[in-house]
Amino acid sequence: MSVPSITPIRWCDDGHLELLDQRALPDRHLTLDVTSADGAAEAIRAMVVRGAPAIGITAAYGVVLAALKQRGSDWQPGVEAAITILAASRPTAVNLFWALERMHQVIAIHRHEEVAPVTALLEAARTIHRQDLDDNLTMGELGADLISREAPCAVMTHCNTGALATGGHGTALGVIRSAWSRGLITHVHANETRPWLQGARLTAWELDQEGIPVTLAVDSAASLLMAQGKVGWLIVGADRIAANGDVANKIGTLALAVQARYFGVKVMVVAPSSTFDLEVASGDAIPIETRDARELTHQGERVVAPEKINIYNPVFDVTPASLIDAIVCERGVIEHPDHAGVVRMIETCRGTEVCHNLSRTYERKDPE
Ligand SMILES: CSC[C@H]1O[C@H](OP(=O)(O)O)[C@H](O)[C@@H]1O
């Protein structure tokens, strides 16, 4: 499986982070050099980089940037402060808190050292980055195996879950890439994914770059495509999966899952184990980010709605486990997910490593 050359996150040998500015895609290919944890947090907040795994990877490198700036033996408060700043950058994707906890574990191991453990922190960040790509390639095959159970079909995806949202290959889009390479899918229907247009600007761009047949449609056309029998699978990513299998994902996923159930379309969620949060019993407790009203009142500089009206702009919603046919993670597939299936899978994924409360340490207690 060839991995496309899209690299949204690159650690540079001179000690800075280079981010592909996803706000400029598809027509402009701009990069942003980040040299501080504050800069990394702002890049996440402003969606220069976005996508649950990519946010965690960026935050991990942000901790390295903080460590590089520490001088002398009293380095730990400065690095811990950076972790707190990074944890406040976005509230829903639990991968952010999972990655920060992994970095904190490195700090704890080296806490008695005279200087900040830059080398160890950089290795930890690089491992998180590399492991995400490896996991995506594994999930790509596991998800494609599910699709292979029946004749090749067209699939639908929402938002962007590709190389731009991860360490490479992608989660849901990684399954689509793998299934396409095995001749298991015939076409991809990409929803534009308002208001930030991740589907139009990012997913359509990724698939077009690789010659995978894609049709872009407005979000509200999804049910018509399903009604016409043009979709075999709805394949989406996740930002946080609760202990009972409820899935927080880009706004619109819940409606798509309801429609899919009505029209007999199967629903697959694809996410690494770092997306699971066993400390959250159900989707009700997942913090849902709301973003700037300007995302609805403006398109670029053009005003497209009265600027003073009330705006509701939640950018995630929660799909109940009962509407999901399969959750694919790097160690296996949870079919017809429920609490027992999730816990069994995550215990397997994480072995003895006590990770369940990973997201709790740094998660902002007052979600938006
Ligand atoms: C594999 S990315 C998971 C998830 O992240 C996206 O959200 P955003 O673009 O706001 O960061 C979207 O919900 C994807 O499904």
Asked whether residue 367 is domain-assigned, the answer is: no
Rounded to the nearest 10 degrees, what angle do helices 118-147 and 172-181 cross at?
50
Q: Are 348 and 332 in contact (CB under 8 A)?
A: yes
> What is the residue-wise DSSP string for 245-261?
S-EEEETTHHHHHHHHH
- 90 a known binding residue? yes
Asked whether residue 368 is domain-assigned, the answer is: no
Q: Are 189 and 31 in contact (CB under 8 A)?
A: no
Same-domain check for residues 226 and 345? yes
Cα gap 236→215, rounded to integer Å: 16
Asked whether residue 1 is domain-assigned, the answer is: no
Q: 75 alpha carbon to ligand 1 midpoint, in Å?
A: 33
CA-nearest residue, atom 4 of ligand 1:
51
CATH number, position 324: 3.40.50.10470
Asked whether residue 58 is domain-assigned, the answer is: yes
Q: 72 alpha carbon to ligand 1 midpoint, in Å?
A: 39
Same-domain check for residues 85 and 183? no
The residue whose CB lies within 8 Å of the most ligand 1 atoms, and thus the one to mutate among 133, 161, 256, is: 161
Asked whether residue 105 is domain-assigned, the answer is: yes
Cα gap 264→153, rounded to integer Å: 14
The larger pLDDT score, comparing residue 172 to residue 7, is at: 172
Q: 136 alpha carbon to ligand 1 midpoint, in Å?
A: 15
Residue of 64, 90, 91 lying closest to 79 (CA atoms)? 64
Of 132, 161, 196, the position where a domain reaches its end is: 132
pTM: 0.95
Average pLDDT of the residues in 131-155? 98
Same-domain check for residues 96 and 55? yes
Length of the chain: 368
Q: 315 alpha carbon to ligand 1 midpoint, in Å?
A: 9
Average pLDDT of the residues in 140-166? 98
Q: What is the model's pLDDT at position 7? A: 86
State CA 246 to chain mean position distance. Answer: 16
Of 102, 132, 162, the position where a domain reaches its end is: 132
Point out the least confidently predicted range of 140-144, 218-222, 308-312, 357-361. Answer: 357-361
The Cβ of residue 111 has, within 10 Å, a number of other Cβ atoms equal to: 10
Q: What is the model's pLDDT at position 355? A: 42
Residue-wise pLDDT tens digits, 25-36: 999 999 999 999
Cα gap 212→234, rounded to integer Å: 17
Residues with CB under 6 A from ligand 1: 50-53, 159, 161, 165-166, 171, 198, 236-237, 239, 249-250, 315
Q: At 4, is the pLDDT very low, low, confident or very high (cuts 50, 70, 90)?
A: low
Q: Are 256 and 222 in contact (CB under 8 A)?
A: yes
Same-domain check for residues 208 and 121? no
Asked whether residue 208 is domain-assigned, the answer is: yes
* ipTM for this model: 0.98
What the block records as the tokens of 322 is: 């009962």
Count of domains observed in the chain: 2
Q: Which residues contact 354 (CB under 8 A, 6 or more apart)?
A: none
CB hemisphere CA count around 113 (13 angstroms) = 15
Same-domain check for residues 189 and 204? yes
What the block records as the tokens of 306 is: 């009265």
Is beta strand 185-191 parallel, antiparallel or unpaired with respect to 16-20? Answer: unpaired
Same-domain check for residues 178 and 288? yes
Report how far apart, in Å, the C-alpha atoms of 292 and of each of 45, 215, 288, 310, 313 are: 11, 29, 14, 12, 7
* pLDDT surpasses 50 at 356: no
Cα gap 273→271, rounded to integer Å: 7
Average pLDDT of the residues in 288-312? 95
Report how far apart, in Å, the C-alpha atoms of 164 and of each of 71, 127, 352 are: 34, 18, 31
Same-domain check for residues 39 and 165? no
Of 103, 132, 161, the position where a domain reaches its end is: 132
CATH number, position 35: 1.20.120.420
Q: At 307, is the pLDDT very low, low, confident or very high (cuts 50, 70, 90)?
A: confident
Q: At 6, is the pLDDT very low, low, confident or very high (cuts 50, 70, 90)?
A: confident
* Distance between first and last Cα of the chain: 40
What the block records as the tokens of 204 is: 């359509």
Q: Which residues pair with 299 in a beta bridge?
A: 302
Same-domain check for residues 192 and 295? yes
Same-domain check for residues 83 and 222? no
Same-domain check for residues 126 and 149? no
Asked whether residue 3 is domain-assigned, the answer is: no
Q: Does the active-site annotation cover 239?
A: yes
Asked whether residue 191 is domain-assigned, the answer is: yes
Rounded to the nearest 10 degrees, what angle do helices 95-109 and 76-87 cross at?
170
Return the amino acid letter for 79: V
Cα gap 196→45, rounded to integer Å: 13
Q: Are 329 and 139 in contact (CB under 8 A)?
A: yes
- 198 a known binding residue? yes
What the block records as the tokens of 87 is: 């944890």
Domain span at residue 303 reads 138-362
- The per-type count for the chain, helices as H runs and strands as E runs, is 13, 16
- 250 a known binding residue? yes
Same-domain check for residues 173 and 119? no
Same-domain check for residues 228 and 125? no
Cα gap 88→109, rounded to integer Å: 24
